[in-house]
Structure 1
């Protein structure tokens, strides 16, 4: 049963819906498009089957998530962000910016390219919605695709729905340094660390638009300056 602060404060009421452990990470996963229940369970190691089911039921009740079906003949059931969930995108962006200012995490922490892509999609500049080159990313053992249609940016896990305009293949470490602007596309290609199928200039624009927040430019705790 979800606990309540039993306060009329808007912040407290928002936390009644969103403040439980795992809730915001479920939303993080749904930024990557509609996901099957099993895919969510695999993406959130440690949550447990019963807890995930309870969280989704609670979020569905408040229109933060909704049920949908994936394309294809089987009409597989899935979950996606609902209208109230889409309204939380700026909140998730603010958390990315704030979290980027924390100290580096332990090397023992789980790291996935999909999570980096969530951060890159959320913090991309407004003009990134016009990046209309369908891009397939193959980073280590993960596959994702991205496309801007002029109104929004779609980032989803898996194989692109049609033949991509751009395909980028590299390992996780190379992707990380490219996303942080510590290596150019040209240098990575010359070193054989990045394979580009498509226009190299398009790949360069991709990493100009989609990058990881700079820790040194992110909000950090400390004494206020006056």
Structure 2
């Protein structure tokens, strides 16, 4: 049973639901789209099977996520967020975390985690970014697209042929996302490959940037 602060305080009550270790990282993973139990276990090394199961049940009980069956043979179950209410919390944490300085040596790095932070803290105009964009970063594959109201990000190949595909290694991706290098420089060096309109690639890295990235001109 989850512990409670037993305080009549809105902050304490929120922490009763989201404050346990691993809980918000599960939410972060589900911000990348529906995930199977095994996918979550692999993405969160160290959590353990029983603790993950307990956290998922806790979040499902409080309406943060739900378990749904995929269509097709076997009807495998996946977990997905019930809504977007927790996204401002993750965004604020990402902004605050950016002020902690460089990541310590030896910490695990994934481009997908960077994309979550970039999506959560993107410029308001990012919701109108309707170019279906596929990112291939070393062994990671994910896609992103705005629908006018919010930006959808999911792991895996884009559902249809993307209008823009960006291919690079993890180092180059974060250099672009932090504003340490621009698209033209990465293209010239061969560190970035673009299939599609290079202007769309430039716009992508102007709209979506890591918190604390070097400032860029306002997007028109």
TM (normalized to structure 2)?
A: 0.93
Number of equivalences: 215
- Pick aligned residue for 2:131 from 124, 130, 133: 133
After TM superposition, the structure 1 stretch with the greater mean CA deviation from structure 2, 94-103 or 65-74, is 65-74
Give the match's secondary structure for 1:11: helix
Unaligned stretches of 5+ residues in structure 1: 218-226
Per the alignment, residue 140 of structure 2 pairs with 142
After TM superposition, the structure 1 stretch with the greater mean CA deviation from structure 2, 54-63 or 3-12, is 3-12
- Pick aligned residue for 1:199 from 197, 202, 206: 197
Give the match's secondary structure for 1:168: strand
Matches of 1:62 and 1:151 in 2, distance apart? 25
Deviation at 1:70, TM superposition (A): 4.0
Please state if 1:56 is matched with 2:60: no
Deviation at 1:164, TM superposition (A): 0.4
- What are the equivalent positions in structure 2 for 1:178-189 lying under 5 Å apart? 178-189=176-187
Change in 2 beyond 3 A, CA 1:3/1:216:
farther
Matches of 2:210 and 2:58 in 1, distance apart? 32
- What are the equivalent positions in structure 2 for 1:1-226 lying under 5 Å apart? 1-70=1-70, 75-83=75-83, 86-214=84-212
**Structure 1 stretches (4+) deviating beyond 3 angstroms?**
69-75
Matches of 1:73 and 1:205 in 2, distance apart? 41
Change in 2 beyond 3 A, CA 1:169/1:71:
farther
What's the Cα RMSD here?
1.5
Deviation at 1:215, TM superposition (A): 6.5
TM (normalized to structure 1)?
A: 0.91
Change in 2 beyond 3 A, CA 1:66/1:115:
same
Matches of 2:182 and 2:73 in 1, distance apart? 42
Matches of 1:111 and 1:149 in 2, distance apart? 29
Matches of 1:201 and 1:103 in 2, distance apart? 31
Unaligned stretches of 5+ residues in structure 2: 216-220
